[in-house]
A and B are shown apart, each in its own frame.
Chain A
Amino acid sequence: MKQRICDDKSLLMAYLYGECDDAECRSVEEHVAACADCAAELDELRGVRVALREWAPPEQALGFRIVREADPAALAPSAGPPRDRRTAHWFLPRVPVRLPAWAQAAAAVLVLAAGAGIANLNVHIGNDGVTVRTGWQQAPVAQGQPPQVPAQAGAAPWRADLAALERRLRQDMPAATATPVTSPAPANAATDRARATSESTATMMRVQTLLDDRDRRLQRQFDRQLAEGMLRLARDVDSQRVADQRRFLQGLSQIDVRTTQLSQMQNYMLRAANVQEIK
Chain B
Amino acid sequence: MTCTDEELVARSARGDADSFNQLITRWERPIYALAYRVIGHEEDARDVCQETFLRAFRGIAAFKGQAKFSSWLYRIALNLCRDWIRRERRTPVVQPPEGVDLTELASERGPAESVEDLVSRQDMSRLVARAMRSLSEEQRTAVVLKEYQGLTFQEIADLLGCPLSTVKTRLYQGLTLLRRQLEAAGIHSGVRAGDGGLTPVAAPRPSSDI
Q: Which residues of A contact B (CB under 8 A)?
A: 9-10, 12-19, 25, 29, 32, 39, 42-58, 60, 62-68, 86, 88, 90, 97
Q: Which residues of A contact B54 (CB under 8 A)?
A: 66, 88, 90
Task: List 20 A-B pairs, Cβ < 8 Å.
Answer: A10-B172, A17-B153, A18-B203, A19-B152, A19-B203, A25-B200, A29-B198, A47-B189, A47-B195, A51-B124, A52-B128, A55-B125, A55-B148, A62-B28, A62-B46, A66-B20, A68-B17, A88-B57, A90-B50, A97-B42
Q: Which residues of A contact B49 (CB under 8 A)?
A: 62, 64
Q: Given contacts A19-B203, A57-B37, are A64 and B191 in contact (CB under 8 A)?
A: no
Q: Which residues of A contact B43 (CB under 8 A)?
A: 97
Q: Is the CB of A42 within 8 A of B192?
A: no
Q: Is the interface of B mostly helix, strand, loop or mixed?
A: helix
Closest Cβ of chain B to A17, distance in Å, is 5
Q: Given contacts A25-B200, A55-B132, are A64 and B28 in contact (CB under 8 A)?
A: yes
Which 10 pairs of residues, A with B, have the shortest CB-CB distance? Answer: A47-B189, A46-B191, A55-B128, A54-B124, A18-B200, A57-B36, A13-B168, A9-B172, A10-B168, A57-B33
Q: Is the CB of A46 within 8 A of B168?
A: no
Docked Cα-Cα span, A47 to B63, in Å, equals 40
Q: Given contacts A43-B190, A48-B182, A90-B50, are A16 and B121 in contact (CB under 8 A)?
A: no
Docked Cα-Cα span, A54 to B123, in Å, equals 9
Docked Cα-Cα span, A64 to B203, in Å, equals 29
CB contact between A47 and one of B32, B171, B179, B209 (< 8 Å): that residue: B179
Q: A14-B168, A45-B175, A45-B189 are in contact. List 6 more A-B contacts (CB 8 A).
A: A17-B203, A18-B200, A49-B147, A50-B192, A60-B32, A88-B54
Closest to B182 in A: A51
Q: Is the CB of A64 within 8 A of B201?
A: no
Closest Cβ of chain A to B155, distance in Å, is 11
Q: Given contacts A10-B165, A66-B21, are A42 and B37 in contact (CB under 8 A)?
A: no
Whether B81 is near chain A, meaning CB under 8 Å from some CB there, is: no
Q: Is the CB of A57 within 8 A of B190?
A: no
Whether B74 is near chain A, meaning CB under 8 Å from some CB there, is: no
Interface size on B, residues (CB 8 A): 60
Q: Is the CB of A44 within 8 A of B179?
A: yes
Docked Cα-Cα span, A68 to B57, in Å, equals 11
Query: For chain B residues 36-58, which have a beta carbon within 8 Å of chain A?
Result: 36-37, 42-43, 45-46, 49-50, 53-54, 57-58
Docked Cα-Cα span, A58 to B146, in Å, equals 20
Whether B86 is near chain A, meaning CB under 8 Å from some CB there, is: no
Docked Cα-Cα span, A60 to B132, in Å, equals 21
Closest to B178 in A: A48
Whether B78 is near chain A, meaning CB under 8 Å from some CB there, is: no
Closest Cβ of chain B to A16, distance in Å, is 6
Docked Cα-Cα span, A90 to B58, in Å, equals 12
Closest Cβ of chain B to A111, distance in Å, is 21
Docked Cα-Cα span, A90 to B21, in Å, equals 11
Closest Cβ of chain A to B8, distance in Å, is 13
Q: Is the CB of B198 within 8 A of A67?
A: no
Q: Which residues of A contact B188 (CB under 8 A)?
A: 47
Closest Cβ of chain B to A208, distance in Å, is 14
Docked Cα-Cα span, A13 to B165, in Å, equals 10
Closest Cβ of chain B to A156, distance in Å, is 31
Closest Cβ of chain A to B92, distance in Å, is 14
Q: Given contacts A25-B200, A48-B182, are A66 and B24 in contact (CB under 8 A)?
A: yes
Q: Which residues of B contact A49 (CB under 8 A)?
A: 147, 175, 201
Q: Is the CB of B125 within 8 A of A54?
A: yes
Closest to A67 in B: B17
Closest Cβ of chain A to B187, distance in Å, is 6
Docked Cα-Cα span, A19 to B164, in Å, equals 12
CB contact between B189 and one of A18, A48, A66 (< 8 Å): that residue: A48
Docked Cα-Cα span, A56 to B174, in Å, equals 18
Closest Cβ of chain A to B112, distance in Å, is 20
Closest Cβ of chain A to B201, distance in Å, is 6
Q: Which residues of A contact B127 (CB under 8 A)?
A: 51
Q: Which residues of B contact A57 (CB under 8 A)?
A: 32-33, 36-37, 45, 210
